[in-house]
Amino acid sequence: MRVYMDNGATTRVTEPVFAAMQPYFCEIYGNPSSVHGFGREARKAVEAARAQVAKAIGAQEREIYFTGCGTESDNWAIRGAAYANVKKGRHIITTNIEHHAVLHTCKQLEQEGFEVTYLPVDNDGLVTPEQLAAAIRPDTTLVTIMYVNNEIGTIEPIPELAAVAHEKGVLFHTDAVQAVGHVPIDVAAQGIDLLSLSGHKFHAPKGIGALYVKQGVRLQRLMQGGAQERGQRPGTENLAGIVGLGKAIELATADIPGKSAQVRAIRDHMISRILGEIPHVQLNGHPTKRVCGNINVSFYFIESESVLLHLDFKGIAASSGSACTSGSLDPSHVLLAIGVSHEHANGSVRLSLSDENTMEEADYVVDCLAEAVSRLRAMSPLYEDFLKGVETVGTDDSCHLH
């Protein structure tokens, strides 16, 4: 059996999305900026997709700009807003659990003379409107807080946070890359000024994203070039990608309550089996304010990389909550921010479900997880010490032991 439970990393392009894109490679291939018939056909498709994206998030069509990915949207929103508002101030507020597309952009701005406040989160990964209100200063120009955390799935109180920013006349950006298609979003009703999204997280292809920019919000453009996207984002449009994004967002947002109830039922079944059948395990992230497809669990005394290898051997794709896989021994900044110890962060696994996963797959994955954990613990010196009653949890070097 092959089971894909790494939908937080990326998703499969579904058949209807692929079918919608297919004509835009070999048949309809004009440059949307060309004035001839070939170009006009392409332009029509781009504008139809823009309307689909706008409708899906409660925006107007002219407020949607296509980009190359979620990372580009984040960079553009944050740097664009920071540069456009330097006359007012150079202070930005974010959280310490953002994706690196946001955190590294903020770090770069700090090197350029901006000041950034990184709000801490509680043990579930939540930041509060009160915390935000206390951090806003007269020179604050932008608040950027993610909608859904990519590692632990926690859903931030975005409308309340945006309201606080607006009360103080500050722009509000949200990285909604992990939220679109899973959480109902209405930018107008929720008071969002800037919103980043990325197609490959909801069954569109990789390499296509969008930025919502509320009418009247000034952003500096980051690239110089042609007049595409109303002069704000130059570069010939990714025609087929844009068509795929439009179709995928339409499908993903057609029935969010129904789809998320289905995914949540499977997810909750897995969580209750994992917590009930595997000893010495903890669930990371908020128990209920959590995106429907996310599971993040720490297995004590073992390392996530070994669990992932076992799962891979069984045909299962999951991912590690720790950054050890990326060649660094640093545990995930998100898990540390919510108070998970280094050891437990290094034993964390993220399973991210989509609406394509089944109950049968869920049971298979939990069975394989239980087997992997018990095999690895049988070889784990930490577990042996624990059984002997030696206190090992709480030291901070388990990542270096194997």
What residues line the site for ligand PLP (CB under 6 A)?
69-71, 74, 99, 101, 146, 150, 175, 177-178, 198, 209
Beta bridge partners of 119: 95
Q: Are 107 and 136 in contact (CB under 8 A)?
A: no
Nearest residue (CB) to ligand PLP, 6 versus 193: 6
Closest CB 207 distance from ligand PLP, rounded Å? 8
Report, as residue numbers or ranges, the catalytic residues.
Answer: 324
Taking the C-alpha atoms of residue 88 and residue 114, their distance in angstroms, rounded to an integer, is 12
Taking the C-alpha atoms of residue 349 and residue 342, their distance in angstroms, rounded to an integer, is 14
Nearest residue (CB) to ligand PLP, 105 versus 357: 105
Structure tokens at 8: 């937080």
Taking the C-alpha atoms of residue 364 and residue 38, their distance in angstroms, rounded to an integer, is 50
Beta bridge partners of 144: 173
**Unique residue bearing structure tokens 């406040």:** 117
The SS3 of residue 287 is coil
Q: Are 118 and 92 in contact (CB under 8 A)?
A: no
Name residues whose C-beta falls within 8 Å of residue 248's C-beta, 6 or more positions apart in sequence. Answer: 13, 14, 17, 181, 199, 202, 203, 204
Nearest residue (CB) to ligand PLP, 116 versus 177: 177
Closest CB 397 distance from ligand PLP, rounded Å? 29
Q: Are 132 and 93 in contact (CB under 8 A)?
A: yes
Nearest residue (CB) to ligand PLP, 178 versus 348: 178
Nearest residue (CB) to ligand PLP, 109 versus 372: 109
Nearest residue (CB) to ligand PLP, 72 versus 229: 72
Nearest residue (CB) to ligand PLP, 74 versus 355: 74
Q: Which helix (H) or strand (E) holds 196?
A: strand 194-198
Closest CB 101 distance from ligand PLP, rounded Å? 4
Residue 99: alpha-carbon gap to chain centroid: 7
Closest CB 241 distance from ligand PLP, rounded Å? 11
Taking the C-alpha atoms of residue 401 and residue 312, their distance in angstroms, rounded to an integer, is 22
* Longest alpha-carbon distance in the chain: 78
* 281-283: strand order across its sheet: 281-283, 294-299, 348-352, 319-320
Beta bridge partners of 197: 210
> Shortest Cβ contact with ligand PLP: which residue?
70
Going by C-alpha positions, the residue among 148, 160, 150, 210 that lies closest to residue 184 is 148
Going by C-alpha positions, the residue among 238, 236, 215, 234 that lies closest to residue 224 is 234
Structure tokens at 375: 């095999």
**Unique residue bearing structure tokens 């920013």:** 165
Helix (H), strand (E) counts: the chain: 15, 13
Closest CB 90 distance from ligand PLP, rounded Å? 24
Nearest residue (CB) to ligand PLP, 206 versus 273: 206
Closest CB 203 distance from ligand PLP, rounded Å? 13
Closest CB 11 distance from ligand PLP, rounded Å? 11
Closest CB 102 distance from ligand PLP, rounded Å? 7
